[in-house]
Structure 1
Amino acid sequence: IRETLFYNIHGQTGCAEVDSMTEAVAGKGFLLVCISCKRREEVPGSAIVDWHYKAAGSDEFIHVSRVILWIRKLDQLDGRLEWKGTMGTKDVQIGSVFIHNVTYNDTGTYLCTFHRTLYLPLNEEHVVISKEVELTVVENANPELTAVISEIMMYVLIAVLQLWMIGVLIYCYRKIYAENEARETRKTKQTHLHP
């Protein structure tokens, strides 16, 4: 599943998708991200967002939330869901929900479904887009592999740059020293030629 980032360039909005997290820490909050970017921003539309949940080891999804006009109509997770999606418009593109106080029972598959209606000049087009999030709940947060690799690369890069800087300083010192020696040699030769 991916998260949407909206950015504004010269008054026009854009929609970009980034990967979402899938590991929650017990007792903390977790953002279940669901997005559906429209291919053509200029086409008006509306969307209803449904969230379903399937417990680990189960075969059936349970309907846990429905959002119409950014108002949650159903919450089967004991009031722990909070809408974090698009606000203030019926043309919802971000359908994210936040789970407060995550428990181990929240482990499982979450299915987010956008029921979008596009209002085209000649007719309406109905589009259904579904996305799944496999959520695992852990006791302590595990560092992301990319974060560990980034930290290692940072220290390696710092060490390499310091060695490079020392090499440049030694090279420059030797070059300046050699030029000074050559200048002194020329001065000595000139004083011997013109006593």
Structure 2
Amino acid sequence: MSPPIRSLCALGFILMFARWCDGSCAEVDSMTEAVAGQDFLLGCISCKRREEVSGASTVDWHFKPAGGDEFFHIFHYDYPTSTILHEDFKSRLEWGGTKGTADLQIGAIYIRNVTFNDTGTYTCTFERSLFLALGTEHVTIKKTVELTVLAEANRELTAVISEIMMYVIIVVLQLWLIGVLIYCYKKIYAENEAREARKALHAKNKLIDSKETCDGVHLE
């Protein structure tokens, strides 16, 4: 197979499996509009700058209602235990962050059955300990989310267009990938057929040469 064909096939297989590859941590902002009566994920991500450094974190959430003057401590997570600390959120908050380790980078929580009273300002605070060679370093990271609760979902036109374009691009890439794999298969099949034909022709030529050699021998 020629180098360009190999490269094209390799690219196709890379695109096929790239979707299952894990990417690095990315600090994506939380959504800020929830719908009353539905569940909502309050996002909070704090990435470590050096993945090779081990650490441990706790996460605290505070809430200030719209028009309120002070924050209330509503949730605390210290692996593996989560604690709801405010009566208004009893049985409605659930840990949605990093699982299976105290080295937290995602501190998200779910709000179940959102109400209009959940509108307000939320703060997410990471208390992180980094275990360095020279000692332990303590870091505090705070994120803020301004949440608005709506009666029904409000999808902006740009968001709808972006979602449609995303699906169109995915479909086009998948069709292109299928086309690349079919092309590669046909190319490989054709090259194998040509190789077998050359082998058969070579064997036939050897048989003819051998026969001519035998015919040229005269017994005395």
**TM-score of the pair, normalised by structure 1:** 0.69
3-state DSSP of counterpart to 1:146: helix
Q: Is the 8 A contact 2:29 2:44 kept in 1?
A: no
Q: Is 2:41 aligned against 1:31?
A: yes
Per the alignment, do residues 153 and 94 of structure 1 end up closer, same or farther by CA in structure 2, a change over 3 Å counting? closer
**Corresponding residue number in structure 2 for 1:68:** 78
**Corresponding residue number in structure 1 for 2:122:** 110
C-alpha displacement at 1:133, in angstroms? 0.5
Q: Is 2:156 aligned against 1:144?
A: yes
3-state DSSP of counterpart to 2:26: strand
In terms of Rg, which structure is larger?
2
3-state DSSP of counterpart to 2:162: helix
C-alpha displacement at 1:114, in angstroms? 0.1
What fraction of aligned residue pairs are identical, expressed as a percent? 62
Q: Is the 8 A contact 2:43 2:109 kept in 1?
A: yes
Give the partner amino acid of 1:61.
F
Give the partner amino acid of 2:64.
K
2 CA distance for matches of 1:152 and 1:29?
A: 24
**Corresponding residue number in structure 1 for 2:99:** 87
Task: Give the paired residue count.
Answer: 145
Greater share of strand = 1
Q: Deviation per CA, 1:78-121: give whole Å up to 9, x if none.
A: 21001010011010110000000000000000000000000100
3-state DSSP of counterpart to 1:18: coil
**Corresponding residue number in structure 2 for 1:163:** none
2 CA distance for matches of 1:66 and 1:19?
A: 20
**TM-score of the pair, normalised by structure 2:** 0.62
Q: Deviation per CA, 1:134-184: give whole Å up to 9, x if none.
A: 000000100034324437979xxxxxxxxxxxxxxxxxxxxxxxxxxxxxx
**Corresponding residue number in structure 1 for 2:17:** none
Q: Is 2:118 aligned against 1:97?
A: no
Greater share of helix = 2
Give the partner amino acid of 2:100.
G
CA RMSD, Structure 1 to Structure 2 (Å): 2.0
C-alpha displacement at 1:48, in angstroms? 0.3
Per the alignment, do residues 121 and 27 of structure 1 end up closer, same or farther by CA in structure 2, a change over 3 Å counting? same
**Corresponding residue number in structure 1 for 2:59:** 49
Per the alignment, do residues 121 and 17 of structure 1 end up closer, same or farther by CA in structure 2, a change over 3 Å counting? same
